[in-house]
Amino acid sequence: MFAPILTLLAGVALANAYALKSASTSPYGQSSGNWELQKTAYGALLVGGKDVPLTTSVTIEGGQLKLVCPQQATAALVPTGSDDPKYTVQFVSKTDDLPKGSIFTGWTTQDDGVSLPDDLTKVVNTEVGLDGTYNLATVDGANALTWANKGPSNGVQWFLAIDEANDVHC
């Protein structure tokens, strides 16, 4: 009798959407902000470095990071063709046209361990590995979120984070 109810509740929990935020740590402290989406040939890059309103909302379902607002799309690590940066983080509506080696699954949350603000939960990709770091780099003229097989640049480390206390309503 309770099993169908628990199954239904588990499905509802997966469907909760949370605000997608940027977070960074450095020798000088920590900060968080909002990402902006910039259109690309494949979908949209996550762009940082601007004071923008909170517009991105996501869910994590079956290892996929799904953009819910302002549009529906799936997160992909898209190869750049070099090791620095190795991937850009993009939200795409189609995966067929992406370069070979693009990664769509492996998204999950992870305990902080780097002193992010208490309201944020770190989002990582287990398929790309945990030895590299996210960073901001110039891609298509924008300050985009990238991933590389190296440590933090100048002691600054960037993160994808969800804010479980807030959501964006489309």
| pLDDT tens digits along 39-65 | 988 889 888 766 778 889 999 999 999
Structure tokens, 132:
């590299």
Residue 13 has pLDDT above 50, yes or no: no
Residue 117, helix vs strand vs coil: coil
Q: What pLDDT is stored for residue 12 in this prediction? A: 37
**Residue 130 is inside which H or E element, if any?**
none
Record the pTM: 0.83
- Which CATH number does the domain 16-163 belong to among 2.60.40, 1.10.3470, 2.80.10, 3.40.50? 2.80.10
Give yes or no for a contact between 149 and 7, defined as CB atoms under 8 angstroms apart: no
Q: What pLDDT is stored for residue 17 in this prediction? A: 87
Q: What pLDDT is stored for residue 50 in this prediction? A: 62
Predicted confidence band at 14 (pLDDT cuts at 50, 70, 90)? very low
Lowest mean pLDDT among 11-20, 119-128, 146-155: 11-20
111 CB neighbour count, 10 Å cutoff:
7
14 CB neighbour count, 10 Å cutoff:
10
Structure tokens, 130:
């945990």
Q: Where are the domains of the chain?
A: 16-163
* Average pLDDT for 82-106: 89
Residue 5, helix vs strand vs coil: helix
- Name all contacts of 2-6 with Cβ < 8 Å and 24+ positions apart: none
Give yes or no for a contact between 119 and 164, defined as CB atoms under 8 angstroms apart: yes
Q: What pLDDT is stored for residue 15 in this prediction? A: 56
127 CB neighbour count, 10 Å cutoff:
12
Give yes or no for a contact between 166 and 23, defined as CB atoms under 8 angstroms apart: no
- Indicate the average pLDDT of the chain: 82
| pLDDT tens digits along 108-149 | 998 766 677 778 899 999 998 767 888 888 887 788 899 988
